Amino acid sequence: MTTAAVAGASGYAGGEIVRLLLGHPDISIGALTADLSAGRLLGTVHPHLVPLAGVELQPTTPQTLAGHDVVFLALPHGASAALVAQLPDDVVVVDCGADFRLTDARPWERFYDTPYAGSWPYGLPELLIHGGGRARAALVGSRRIAVPGCYPTACSLALAPGFAAGLLDPSDVVIVAASGTSGAGRGMKPHLLGSEVMGSMSPYGVGGGHRHTPEITQNLTAAAGAPVSLSFTPTLAPMARGILATCTARLAEDADPASVRTAYDAAYSDEPFVHLLSEGQWPRTADVLGSNSVQLQVVVDENAGRVVVVAAIDNLTKGTAGGAIQCANLALGLPETTGLPVAGVAP
């Protein structure tokens, strides 16, 4: 049995990793660590994780993480690099933070306040790459994997097939996406208080200010094989979990509108976690709750000459923890779907 440690298990992402691992037939849970919550019982911070409620959270140190086959890092951005440097090379490390996602140091230095640490294989298996293939190929057997951000997961899977097929113009991409409050983590922030969020939506990171912008651009550029110009506007929605991303791009000059849906169907027909809905059916965050699934719908707005793709994910499952376990399965040589729910929870 493969053993896994979860660093940052007291947070939302870490708790979600633990929840999913409880149902994984081939991975057993070892050390659970935290920073400020070290010494507390897991059940006091995650009462829903009943089977492990009496487990004490340990400090996040290389010594605590030693001896495991897999280490999941659910730490604040910038905290992973120094810790990873002290872990053995043969351990599978799956980082849910941003430390190793970007292949260019310049956007890292603009959006983050720690030194650039380099890049790892990018953990979005379904991402199409220009010229053929998917990001999955670099993940099989890998010892180091960088899990995507939640917005990049939804937005990249929404538009990559159109770019890979040469159907979209990379010079004019506009995305507006709404996220639940858990995407901001568990720290106390005044603008995330219930009284501030309930009954209200608000934008943030407007005008290219959100740190997921270069990551989405990086992914879409890889799919298009050419630089992509992106305007990305995130919004905060009055819900705990979920992302609904409305992603648009101008139809390429010589593209046949009738070929757009065909390209998406071909791209995702064999992908177990990406589901192109029947025509006329639209994604809802409620339908992917607790699942590792992405639901998509694509249409061509012929009056505007634009392709519109709407994507829904659970930001904590497919957007973080489920994606991390999906990548760990690939690294360990297990079936990619092992231990991961496809069906959501309703109502």
Contact 146, 99 (CB under 8 A): yes
Mean pLDDT across the chain: 95
297-147-7 Cα angle (round to 5): 135
In angstroms, the CA 124 to CA 159 distance is 14
Per the annotation, the verdict on 155 as an active-site residue is no
Q: Tens digit of pLDDT for each residue in 273-293?
A: 999 999 999 999 999 999 999
Question: What was the pLDDT predicted at 236?
Answer: 93
DSSP 266: H
Higher pLDDT, 1 or 333: 333
Question: What was the pLDDT predicted at 188?
Answer: 61
In angstroms, the CA 73 to CA 63 distance is 15
Helices and strands of the chain, counted as H and E runs: 10, 13
Question: What was the pLDDT predicted at 285?
Answer: 97
Q: Hey, is 50 helix, strand or coil?
A: helix
Question: How would you label 16-33 residue by residue, b for 16+ Cβ within 10 Å and e otherwise?
Answer: bbbbbbeebeebebbbbb
Question: What was the pLDDT predicted at 182?
Answer: 81
Percent of the chain having pLDDT more than 90?
93
Q: Residue 189: CB partners within 8 Å, gap ≥ 6? A: none
In angstroms, the CA 98 to CA 272 distance is 25
Of residues 150, 155, 247, 327, which has the active-site annotation?
A: 150
Q: Tens digit of pLDDT for each residue in 141-198?
A: 999 999 999 999 999 999 999 999 999 999 999 999 999 988 777 666 777 777 788 8
Q: Tens digit of pLDDT for each residue in 244-255?
A: 999 999 999 999
Question: What was the pLDDT predicted at 18?
Answer: 98
In angstroms, the CA 101 to CA 150 distance is 12
Token duo for residue 133: 């293939």
pTM: 0.95
Q: Residue 95: CB partners within 8 Å, gap ≥ 6? A: 73, 75, 80, 84, 120, 144, 145, 146, 147
Question: What was the pLDDT predicted at 198?
Answer: 83
Domains in the chain and their CATH numbers?
Answer: 2-120 (3.40.50.720), 151-313 (3.30.360.10)
In angstroms, the CA 133 to CA 138 distance is 10
Half-sphere exposure of 192 (CA within 13 A, CB side): 15
Per-residue pLDDT at 239 exceeds 70: yes
For residue 136, the surrounding DSSP H or E stretch is none
Per-residue pLDDT at 345 exceeds 80: yes
Token duo for residue 283: 């994604």
